[in-house]
A and B are shown apart, each in its own frame.
Chain A
Amino acid sequence: AQSVTQLDSQVPVFEEAPVELRCNYSSSVSVYLFWYVQYPNQGLQLLLKYLSGSTLVKGINGFEAEFNKSQTSFHLRKPSVHISDTAEYFCAVSDPGTGTASKLTFGTGTRLQVTL
């Protein structure tokens, strides 16, 4: 069975500072990895994904993540955050096997709080 651990439930950061949101996963097979963002009272928006190839993945809104197979990690980073980045961030893993999107297993989320 797959699982995802998001080590920080909340991350406070000042505007224009860099941020890293940590994600570790557990799986006995190869994986696809995703980061989604959820703004208050909204659904999930895809930030970025790792399927294969380059381990450094760039996403929307200036976010990037690095897949580290040996560490089983997929940490999300942004060099300079903005107030509008305040939201809940979810890391998720799925099984690549079937040719269509398999079920996603999510972490418990990290609340990014950006202040002036």
Chain B
Amino acid sequence: DAGVTQSPTHLIKTRGQQVTLRCSPKSGHDTVSWYQQALGQGPQFIFQYYEEEERQRGNFPDRFSGHQFPNYSSELNVNALLLGDSALYLCASSLSDTQYFGPGTRLTVL
């Protein structure tokens, strides 16, 4: 049984650019959450998708947006990248009460 997968593994962008990160949930999971983990910090909740709708949102600006597809996979889009957006972006999937994390995408903004 495949776990949560994310692509790409690493990404380098420059300030002002836009980026799209992708996540495939664990088989049978219908909910996807995204987190940002800055270096040396704990993960911070960005938002959660369920039934193709944004269900919860953390304290992140509108530059961060997402989408969930009918097969439950998800995308995280970040516009107008800032240096401070450099981080590990983690996707987690769930069916009931527990979230299972993918390996993350390391985004570097130069």
Chain A interfacial positions (CB closer than 8 Å to B)? 4, 32, 34, 36, 42-46, 49, 51, 90, 92, 94, 96, 99-109
Contact = CB atoms under 8 A, between A and B. Distances in A.
Contact of A43 (B40, B42, B101): B101
B33 A109 contact: no
A105 B33 CA distance: 12
Given A90-B42, A107-B42, A108-B42, A101 B102 contact: no
A109 B50 contact: no
A108 B103 contact: no
A46 B35 CA distance: 15
A106 B42 contact: yes
A100 B43 CA distance: 20
Interface in B29-81: 30-31, 33, 35, 40-45, 48, 50, 56, 58
Contacts of A109: 40-42
B87 interface: no
A101 B41 contact: no
B45 A100 contact: no
Given A43-B90, A103-B45, A34 B56 contact: no
B103 A43 contact: yes
Residue of A32, A42, A49, A103 with most partner-chain B CB within 10 A = A103
Interface string B72-103: 00000000000000000010101111111111
A4 B43 CA distance: 12
10 closest pairs, A vs B, by CB? A106-B42, A101-B94, A44-B101, A103-B45, A43-B101, A43-B103, A43-B104, A101-B99, A108-B42, A106-B43
A49 B33 CA distance: 18
Given A43-B103, A103-B33, A32 B45 contact: no
Nearest to B106: A41
Contact of A101 (B35, B42, B96): B96
